[in-house]
């Protein structure tokens, strides 16, 4: 492999996570040590900063600051939700060439993988040597190929912990409680709520994910059945739950809902879905007195500080470092993926997968994790998710109750 | 003082907190060591359990279990939102007498203090020797007399941390973000959001509490001014914000809102207020493209596990222990209150205040903490709240940005 020597650029794109800066710092550390990368330019707000040559010299950042930044949630370089078109890519490309950039690193989800793919193709067409690497990040855990995505474990730890606390809250003051969890198409994060179960009567008692079909009447019947059994009911529902016709509950509710530049409807940052489900429950009890509450966990899931999964943080750092290693030592563009070598003890390896394999399409919860009832997650999912989440907070009942 | 020897009963009432079980365990530990208390009965769901003689023998709980229960959020004995009437009190009283109960401990907020007060009066009228103690607990921090309330510090730590994360999230993906914080009449918890500020442009940029008057037009103008200055805006608003006529925004919005047994309107467990404020902002920009999101932190604030304030946990344990000490060594009923002896270094003492001084009425943020603008909290509030919250999670910016 002929050595490619020059500068590098890095951007962080899409929704933040609690460990996305671990990956950034991983790249900085490895790039600093490499002989191939002379200078590492951090693009503010990702592709937007690349278009404007809005760069930070990341080799100038003191190690002490970087260690703290790594532990800080949300994209330290700023993020963007922008899908560059052909023209943008050509403009970016001019900037890269002008700055003697030979390495392009992009941290993000599948949309970011697609951007990386487009930049890679543009460089190839121009016959310009540019090594492009996508570094996986998404709390949705919906990237193809990889066993799981950095960022997911910490968000799952937040969600599982939130349900541990809410289960205790609900046991103390019984009622019907609905919690809306992030997840447009993939139910991984919502499914992580089952980690809160320890005793038979622990919630969540019902779990609705986008991989199953949602039905208003079935939902009401489910809640009434659980409530009749336990005198209370905790529900985990993904923001992207949908009806048999494919329309999301949120879409049917909200006429003319906002769409982002990737064509996605706004699902987060509103309590409307939870409030709608609460209304359904009240309707089901037809005027009988029933305590129903709905919380939407919202952005806390992706940026709550000081509560990350240690495993997730370590792996996020590793995929950053390994991206530099794969880019400088190999001769192909790609995305860093994780392979679970063994589960007990938990052990992973990283490898390179072609950009096209992770761009555009995403994957959801495998069918084996969906309970046939359509309102629950199979307990085998625990084995998948627990190593990513790590040790959960203490929660103990009195022996007498 | 003539020694009062017999059994004791304890209940946990009202909304849970992250450290309410520290107080429970404090009572159990001290009661076990006392010579006056023979048996400690834990009433399931507080007054409801007392009415039904639904008791747990708390001296039978192993020390190892108790230490874990202490660290567990939400009321381990179960809670209730029920204001006992005269008839209920007489019934409870019969149960206490039958079980040779001489000590009555009730952990909760001002409604619980009132219940304790009524039980105390009933016993006095019946000429029955019963020592009644209220043990303070509320995330609202709205009890009179005491410097602050156990439960508040941990909830404030959650809120401040949430704003630290959300500020970083919003800096990364700019827009207008509204966060609704618990607090019906008292703005302490919402005010704790200012701990998230470190740099001049850090949010929350606007803070609305029930102690100030809210106005829709003023709010829109405030948001536009901040957004013009920083290109983003984070807002902290209490669920109980109200208009000049005294009506809460939530009340005006929701016709026929639910009321609990204390006559309070349901404000939590719904995203409606946040969504309404988001609508106001959009209205203010009259069709211009603006990214507005609203999150309602909800029950996470009071029961998220593994994230309590160490100071809060220690003090919650202490007020439990001291309640037993004051009850068994003194000759008056009362509520345990905290006095801040010094702030640097932070040091507190406990003392007994008569039940009547904390029952019924509550107190809000002192006027000195309210910014004259009506949309902010004076920075002197930091000195009051920081010792209660303790060390906040790491959050660092890159030097270059």
Cβ separation A68–B172 shorter than 8 A: no
Do A52 and A99 form a contact (C-beta atoms < 8 A)? no
ipTM: 0.95
Q: How far apart are CA A161 and CA A371, in angstroms?
A: 22
Q: Which residues of B touch A162 (CB under 8 A)?
A: 300, 304
The DSSP-derived string for A332-385 is S-EEEEEEEEEETTEEEEEEEE-HHHHSS------GGGB-TTSS-B-TTHHHHH
Structure tokens, A1:
């492999």
List the one residue out of B201, B198, B188 whose CA is nearest residue B157.
Answer: B188
| pLDDT, tens digit only, all 401 positions of chain A | 568 999 999 999 999 999 999 999 999 999 999 999 999 999 999 999 999 999 999 999 999 999 999 999 999 999 998 888 888 988 999 999 999 999 999 999 999 999 999 999 999 999 999 999 999 999 999 999 999 999 999 999 999 999 999 999 999 999 999 999 999 999 999 999 999 999 999 999 999 999 999 999 999 999 999 999 999 999 999 999 999 999 999 888 765 445 445 555 555 567 889 989 999 999 999 878 899 999 999 999 999 999 999 999 999 999 999 999 999 999 999 999 999 999 999 999 999 999 999 998 999 999 999 999 999 999 999 999 999 999 999 999 999 99
Contacts of A72 in chain B (CB under 8 A): 168, 394-397
Of the candidates A88, A111, A140, A333, the residue annotated as catalytic is A140
Task: Give phi and psi for B84, each to the nearest 5.
Answer: -70, 135
The region, left, alpha or beta by phi > 0 then psi within -120 to 50, assigned to residue B57 is beta
DSSP state for residue A139 in the 8-state scheme: T
Q: Cβ–Cβ of A77/B401 closer than 8 Å? A: yes
Reduced to 3 states, what is the DSSP secondary structure of residue A401? Answer: coil
Ranges of residues in chain B with a pLDDT under 70 are: 1-2, 254-269
Partner residue opposite B73 with nearest CB, options A72, A165, A293: A165
For residue A215, whether the previous peptide bond is cis, meaning omega lies within 30 degrees of 0, is no
User: Among B56, B68, B278, whose Cβ lies nearest the Cβ of A396?
Assistant: B68
CB contacts, 8 Å: A293 with chain B: 268-270, 298-299
Q: Please report the sign of the dihedral spanned by the C-alpha atoms of residue B182, residue A139, residue A218, residue A273.
A: positive
Structure token digits, residue A77: 């370089």
Q: Hey, are the CB atoms on B297 and A300 less than 8 Å from each other? A: yes
Q: Could you tell me if B312 and B318 are in contact, meaning their C-beta atoms sit under 8 angstroms apart?
A: no
Substitution target from A160, A264, A400 for chain B, most B beta carbons within 10 A: A400
Tell me if residue B166 is catalytic: no
DSSP SS3 for A262:
coil
* Total length of chain A: 401
Residues of B in contact with A65 (CB under 8 A): 396, 398-399
Contact (CB<8Å) A397/B69:
yes
Distance from CA of B303 to the nearest CA of A (A): 5
Position A83 scores a pLDDT of 84
Phi then psi for residue A121, to 5 deg, are -65, -40
- pLDDT for res A89: 87
Which positions in chain B touch A392 (Cβ < 8 Å)?
A: 305-306
| Global confidence as pTM | 0.96
Contact B172 A295 (CB under 8 A): no
Neighbours of A62 (CB within 10 A): 9
How many angstroms away from the CA of B78 is the closest CA of chain A?
4
B132-164 core/surface letters (b: 16 or more CB in 10 A; e: else): bbbbbbbbbbbbbebebbbbbbbbbbbbbbbbb
What pLDDT does A256 receive? 45
Mutate to test the interface with B, among A398, A399, A401 (most CBs of B within 10 A): A398
CB contact under 8 A, A168 and B16: yes
B307, B190 contact by CB (below 8 A): no
* CA distance to partner chain B, nearest, from residue A331 (Å): 31
pLDDT, residue A295, reads: 95
- Full 3-state SS string of chain B: CCCCCEEEEEEECCCCCCCHHHHHHHHHHHHHHCCCEEEEEEECCCHHHHHHCCEEEHHHCCHHHHHHHHCCCCCCCCCCCCCCCHHHHHHHHHHHHHCCEEEEEEEECHHHHHHHHHHHHHHHHCCCCCEEEEEECCCCCCCCCCCCCCCHHHHHHHHHHHHHHHHHHHHHCCCEEEEEECCCCCCHHHHHHHHHCCCCCCCCCEEECCCCECCHHHHHHHHHHHHHHHCCEEEEEECCCECCCCCEHHHHHCCCCCECCCCCECCCCCCHHHHHHHHHHHHHCCCCCCCEEEEECCCHHHHCCCCCCHHHHHHHHHHHHHHHHHHHHCCCCEEEEEEEEEECCEEEEEEEECHHHHCCCCCCCCHHHECCCCCCECCCHHHHHHHHHCCCCCCCCCCCC
**B42 contacts on A by Cβ (under 8 Å):** 398, 400-401
**How far is A67 from A60, CA to CA, in rounded Å?**
14
Q: What is the pLDDT of residue A287?
A: 74
Question: Strand pairing partners for B377?
Answer: B370
Task: Please tell me the distance from the alpha carbon of residue B175 to that of residue A260, in angstroms, as a whole number.
Answer: 13
Number of residues assigned to chain B = 401
The residue annotated as part of the active site, out of B57, B88, B129, B140, is B140
Which one of A172, A199, A268, A277 makes the best mutation probe of the B interface by having the most chain B beta carbons within 10 Å?
A172
Q: Are B307 and B85 in contact (CB under 8 A)?
A: no
Structure token pair of residue B300: 């996470």
- Chain B partners within 8 Å of A398 (Cβ): 42, 56, 58, 61, 65, 69, 76-77
pLDDT at position B85, please?
85
């Amino acid at each position: 492999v002929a050595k490619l020597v020059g500068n590098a650029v890095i951007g962080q794109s899409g929704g933040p996570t609690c460990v996305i800066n671990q990956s950034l710092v991983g790249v900085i550390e490895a790039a600093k040590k490499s002989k191939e990368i002379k200078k590492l330019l951090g693009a503010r707000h990702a592709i937007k900063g690349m278009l404007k040559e809005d760069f930070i010299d990341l080799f100038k950042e003191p190690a002490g600051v970087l260690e703290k930044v790594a532990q800080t949630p949300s994209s330290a370089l700023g993020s963007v939700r922008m899908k560059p078109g052909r023209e943008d890519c050509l403009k970016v490309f001019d900037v890269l060439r002008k700055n003697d950039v030979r390495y392009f690193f992009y941290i993000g989800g599948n949309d970011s993988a697609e951007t990386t793919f487009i930049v890679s193709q543009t460089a190839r067409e121009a016959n310009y040597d540019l090594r492009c690497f996508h570094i996986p990040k998404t709390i949705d855990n919906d990237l193809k190929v990889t066993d799981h995505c950095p960022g997911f474990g910490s968000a799952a730890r937040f969600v599982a912990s939130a349900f541990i606390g809410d289960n205790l809250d609900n046991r103390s003051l019984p009622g019907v409680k609905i919690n809306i969890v992030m997840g447009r198409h993939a139910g991984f994060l919502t499914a992580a709520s089952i980690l809160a179960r320890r005793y038979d009567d622990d919630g969540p008692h019902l779990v609705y994910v986008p991989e199953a079909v949602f039905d208003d009447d079935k939902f009401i019947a489910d809640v009434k059945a659980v409530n009749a059994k336990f005198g209370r009911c905790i529900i985990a529902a993904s923001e992207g739950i949908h009806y048999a016709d494919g329309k999301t509950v949120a879409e049917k509710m909200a006429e003319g809902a906002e769409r982002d530049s990737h064509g996605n409807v706004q699902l987060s940052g509103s309590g409307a879905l939870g409030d709608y489900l609460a209304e359904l429950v009240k309707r089901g009890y037809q005027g009988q007195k029933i305590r129903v509450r709905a919380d939407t966990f919202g952005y806390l899931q992706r940026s709550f500080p000081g509560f990350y999964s240690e495993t997730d943080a370590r792996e996020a750092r590793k995929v950053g470092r390994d991206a530099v290693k794969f880019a400088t030592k190999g001769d192909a563009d790609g995305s860093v993926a994780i392979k679970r070598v063994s589960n007990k003890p938990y052990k992973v390896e990283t490898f390179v997968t072609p950009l096209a394999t992770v761009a555009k399409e995403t994957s959801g919860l495998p069918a084996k994790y969906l309970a046939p009832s359509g309102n629950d997650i199979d307990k085998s999912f625990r084995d998948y998710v627990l190593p990513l989440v790590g040790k959960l907070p203490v929660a103990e009942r009195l022996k007498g109750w």
